[in-house]
Amino acid sequence: MGLRMNLFKVPKHRRYDYLPRYYSPEKAELEERLKKAELMAQDDIEGTKARIAHKLSSRSGNGRAFEPQRRKAILRSNLMLIAILAALIISCLLLWDIYMPQIIDFLE
C-alpha cells in the first residue's frame, strides 16, 4: 500500500538555526538609530509621524513632560482609594457598635 495514513503521528516542526557569522550588537543599534534619524529628517508624512512618535514616547523627547501629571493622577487615585477604605471601615465599626448589642440580645 503506497498511501499510509498516520493519524496519531504528527511530523515535528523544523527549526531555523541560522546565526550570522559576524554580528555586532553595537553596529546593529547604530544602524537602527541612523534609520530613525533619517526617517525623522524627511519632510513627508512618514517623517512627521516619526517625529511626533519620538516626542510622545516616554523615553525621549517631550514625553517626560507628562510624567508629573501622571504622578499626580496616580497619587490622587491612591488617596481616593485610601479615603474610601477609611470611610467603609468607619461605617462598619459604627454599624457594629449600633447593631451588635441587638443581635446578641436576639440570639440569647
Residue 64 has what pLDDT?
65
Query: Inter-axis angle of helices 25-41 and 45-56, to 10 degrees?
Result: 120
Residue 59 has what pLDDT?
59
78-88 confidence digits (pLDDT tens): 999 999 999 99
What pTM, to 2 d.p., does this model score?
0.41
- Percentage of the chain exceeding pLDDT 70: 85
Residue 96 has what pLDDT?
93
- For residue 40, the Cα-to-chain-centroid distance in whole angstroms is 26
Lookup: cell for 33: 538609530
List of the chain residues with pLDDT < 50: 1
